Amino acid sequence: MSEERKRVLERFKERLGHLEAGAIAGPTHWHLFHLHNALNALPDDHSAAHLHLDEFDRADLAKEFPEMEADQPPSASEIRTRFDMLAGGLL
Q: What is the pLDDT of residues 50-78, one digit of tens each?
A: 998 988 888 777 777 776 665 666 778 88
pLDDT in tens, 1-44: 688 888 999 998 999 998 888 887 767 788 888 899 999 998 88
- Taking all residues of the chain, what is their mean pLDDT, rounded to a whole number? 82
The set of long-range contacts for 9-15, using a CB threshold of 8 Å and a minimum separation of 24, is 9/42, 11/50, 11/53, 12/38, 12/39, 12/42, 12/49, 12/53, 15/53, 15/56, 15/57
Q: Do the Cβ atoms of 87 and 81 come closer than 8 Å? A: no
> What are the structural domain ranges in the chain?
3-87
